[in-house]
Structure 1
């Protein structure tokens, strides 16, 4: 393989570019948090495995591939870890081949070597994944620093009569004319394995160059939501490491980058990706650490938010399909097709169903908090790419579209490790609630308005679409806003407050209540929004997930929601502090 755009394939031995006679066996997995890619390299009398992974089945396959090599090829292999996260190296603790020092000699950066020896559950991410470790001893502690045993040099015999593997240290100039340390592992007959220390994703992260391939571990994911902020993550170190690797890639000689997860990239692709990672990392100043507590908090938030997202996107999809169907019936096939193309309803259904299945497994104990948080992040990212707010607002109620967009943005903010901002300001609650109810009662263009547009086909079609799509929420329900008895402003986020009141009214209406009243009242310190189902109706029983999510949203919006205390209660209340009276 000489061309820079010819990629290595999964699951077969291939020539290793840049090293005559050397071969590589890439083991490429679908991206997940359970196990990494693995790579087997054969050069002369040396066999190396980069990142044996986290699954015993994967390790069995790697072991079978190694044992199928011609007899005498290698008595032992060198196992290089791009870093000591558990998805890259768990098999070192329990697999009969990789946990046996007579078969596998481990090379890992000093911080990773210490973490494996001391079973550090935070640096290895074992605690986050709910897993345990056994102590692992590294044969080569890379970049151990001056004054340590070997001081950057070592020689170890590979097996009882195998070749001697030597470690040496050299220095090269990086792009900014500073010196960058490089360590080299090599036997008399093998190609050199060049190792660069690239901390940031973790303190022990390394990149490995063999021939014209560069193995980059998780460098390209290090600024991703749900990964940035894990124990040992360092934004400044990450940016420096990316700069050094970008300089190395731009020097030429490297044709492909082999990541710890996902497909192999050409050099040009890797440069584009890493430039994006650097930009993302630059925006992550001040994010919180992603530990077990934050993973649990994010998982709980994901459960409630995805419940809300599922409902809103189901409504959006259903309304678009309904509009498209009605337009078809009216022989407006072109406009029907335009409306149907605004969103991929089948794909949305599949995404939401997949998340519900994952959530069921999580509730049954099959998945960890971090898994649910990351799964929700994947779904939110895909929905966001499908979500064209500008086009949807031309058809649907803009409040629905804005609400959906805000939820997607909110989850991305939380998963990235930022605290959600509280946009509190003085709000006149009475007018806000009255305007909201007026919007919910109001439809779109009347039939008389449509007739006035009959001479303009384009304007008529747009108005017709809105008329069909924007059905008043309270079309068959009596809902009144009682005169406000208290006019002092409160400290609140008006967008969040509007969404909560709207959600409550929609849920109550959907339960069959035919008569609802909303009253704003208060005291010197608190203003209350009281939503009441009038007799003979009853307040619906809100699901716990829904109650928890709306309660948290209400706190963020500046208030507190008070749920019905018994099944006979007909009201739910939102309390908001009067401006200047505290929270």
Structure 2
């Protein structure tokens, strides 16, 4: 289970006349982002180069091919200057030296200064790229055009219009809040929203530049835009695309949360989920018995318990460094050491949980951007992997699938990991058989585990971790002696 981009394919953008898109989408996380390549007869655009050099080299090769096919202007468009969206920009610009870079003027200045706070270099442990020449947006009249204020609630939405094809234009909207330089891009009915759909709060580490009042105003304006400008799809910086109805619900929920806070710029107290994720990461790393480099870095070692809020930035940096070390370990793994290798399997699970931990520390809401996951396929794949590994040789595993092939709004990797965690606990408690059932119950998809009615109970600390994790993904977990259930909203169901 590795955070790799889904295989991209070209599609015409909804509502556009001349623009096709190739999307590299990632599971929700704060060290990698989605990258979108747009192609028109006269332009090739990349929205958010990201922080994965391997992916960026693939993007560079594709854009170079487009430029060879026909004379086109290459443009690199940043939604904001956080390094998970642009750390590999110099790799892309090195392959496309004639490309124009679009970035809000404040973000361009933060990158030029290598500002450790506004770029999040101090929290993500990512390198600030060398900045090429930038076309600053919203810096008064200039080559990008003259900003105008659209008549929207909460004050005018500042916008720019940049022609990119015979019949299409790139609309740019200034949407501060997640960061002061955040912008959204729109082509036809597709809105590239960066991290706007995630930025529910300041995070436990109080992200530099986060502004709750500005974020609330930006969300209100974008909700108006969804209603009045024929936007049909919202393409976020992380996770899957959202159709208009779901995007409206997600952003309206974030706006309601912001308005419900007594002081919307105050970080919430440290919650239980980060602590539970941290403890579970430590257990997996112990199980993996990692060799260098992951355990050789003393700064990467995580404490056994979550420290107080004053220590959060240091924890965040150590977690990010450890995630990067695990990535290097996985990249260096010999081919074929996939799910059948227990140590590599534990490393992948720990890496995914570290990603969730960083999301929680940032204050990101990742439940709405996960999935969809076909429950039968996810559970069947997990059980086949467990059987092949030999770790459950003493346990008779059986599976009853749902006839309807239900699709849940859930991260498939997270679901498999949580089910595996419960099965491991039952095995360790002495269970010698376990049946997994997938079924639907009204608007929910349910995965039920039965080790033995009245049999071993899950440790309360583990049950609390499973409950908190399911809640973070918009689902629910319940446990009774010898059995437990994971319930998730069905894809397409509004809450």
So what's the TM-score if we normalise by structure 1?
0.49
Question: Residue 76 of structure 1 contacts residue 102 of structure 1 at CA under 8 Å; is this kept in 2?
Answer: no
Residues 1:107 and 2:102 are matched in the alignment:
yes
Match of 2:150 among 153, 172, 187: 172
Residues 1:195 and 2:172 are matched in the alignment:
yes
Question: Residue 47 of structure 1 contacts residue 74 of structure 1 at CA under 8 Å; is this kept in 2?
Answer: no
Residues 1:258 and 2:258 are matched in the alignment:
no
What's the C-alpha RMSD, in Å, of the aligned pairs? Answer: 4.6
Instruction: State the distance in 1 between where 2:12 and 2:97 align.
Output: 28
> How many angstroms does 1:60 deviate by?
1.1
For residues 362 and 223 of structure 1, do their structure 2 counterparts lie closer, same or farther at Cα, with a shift above 3 Å needed?
A: farther
- 1:274 alignment counterpart: 251
> How many angstroms does 1:212 deviate by?
0.8
Q: Any gaps of 5 or more consecutive residues in structure 1?
A: 1-8, 145-150, 155-165, 311-351, 414-464, 470-583
Higher relative CO (CA 8 A, sep ≥ 6), structure 1 or 2? Answer: 2
> How many angstroms does 1:229 deviate by?
2.7
Instruction: State the distance in 1 between where 2:88 and 2:132 align.
Output: 13
Q: Any gaps of 5 or more consecutive residues in structure 2?
A: 1-5, 302-317, 324-352, 362-366, 368-413, 423-445, 472-479, 484-495
SS across alignment from 2:116: coil
Instruction: State the distance in 2 between where 1:355 and 1:208 align.
Output: 44
- 1:140 alignment counterpart: 135
- 2:26 alignment counterpart: 29
Match of 1:369 among 290, 296, 319: 319
- 1:208 alignment counterpart: 185
Instruction: State the distance in 2 between where 1:136 and 1:29 align.
Output: 25
- 1:548 alignment counterpart: none
> How many angstroms does 1:305 deviate by?
4.5
User: Any residues of structure 2 matched to 1:116-515 within 5 Å, and which?
Assistant: 116-144=111-139, 151-154=140-143, 166-175=144-153, 178-186=155-163, 189=166, 191-223=168-200, 226=203, 229-283=206-260, 285=263, 305-306=279-280, 353=284, 357=288, 363-365=295-297, 368-370=318-320, 371=323, 374-376=355-357, 401=460
Match of 1:17 among 14, 37, 47: 14
Residues 1:84 and 2:73 are matched in the alignment:
no
Deviations 1:443-481 (A, max 9, x none): xxxxxxxxxxxxxxxxxxxxxx98x99xxxxxxxxxxxx
> How many angstroms does 1:374 deviate by?
4.6
Question: Residue 10 of structure 1 contacts residue 27 of structure 1 at CA under 8 Å; is this kept in 2?
Answer: yes
Deviations 1:92-150 (A, max 9, x none): 23x1x414773221111111011111111211111212233244144321122xxxxxx
For residues 377 and 25 of structure 1, do their structure 2 counterparts lie closer, same or farther at Cα, with a shift above 3 Å needed?
A: closer
For residues 224 and 42 of structure 1, do their structure 2 counterparts lie closer, same or farther at Cα, with a shift above 3 Å needed?
A: same
For residues 227 and 11 of structure 1, do their structure 2 counterparts lie closer, same or farther at Cα, with a shift above 3 Å needed?
A: farther
Instruction: State the distance in 2 between where 1:281 and 1:82 align.
Output: 22
Instruction: State the distance in 1 between where 2:232 and 2:156 align.
Output: 23
Instruction: State the distance in 2 between where 1:282 and 1:15 align.
Output: 37
Instruction: State the distance in 1 between where 2:41 and 2:238 align.
Output: 27
Question: Residue 179 of structure 2 contacts residue 209 of structure 2 at CA under 8 Å; is this kept in 1?
Answer: yes
SS across alignment from 1:60: helix
So what's the TM-score if we normalise by structure 2?
0.57
Instruction: State the distance in 1 between where 2:102 and 2:94 align.
Output: 13
Instruction: State the distance in 2 between where 1:24 and 1:228 align.
Output: 35
For residues 265 and 406 of structure 1, do their structure 2 counterparts lie closer, same or farther at Cα, with a shift above 3 Å needed?
A: closer
SS across alignment from 2:184: strand
Deviations 1:141-191 (A, max 9, x none): 1122xxxxxx2321xxxxxxxxxxx53322211145x32211112257462
For residues 22 and 72 of structure 1, do their structure 2 counterparts lie closer, same or farther at Cα, with a shift above 3 Å needed?
A: same
Please identify the structure whose Cα radius of gyration is greater. 1
Match of 2:37 among 37, 40, 48: 40
- 1:68 alignment counterpart: 65
Instruction: State the distance in 2 between where 1:269 and 1:288 align.
Output: 28
For residues 221 and 74 of structure 1, do their structure 2 counterparts lie closer, same or farther at Cα, with a shift above 3 Å needed?
A: farther
Question: Residue 88 of structure 2 contacts residue 129 of structure 2 at CA under 8 Å; is this kept in 1?
Answer: no
Question: Residue 258 of structure 2 contacts residue 264 of structure 2 at CA under 8 Å; is this kept in 1?
Answer: no
Instruction: State the distance in 2 between where 1:357 and 1:15 align.
Output: 44
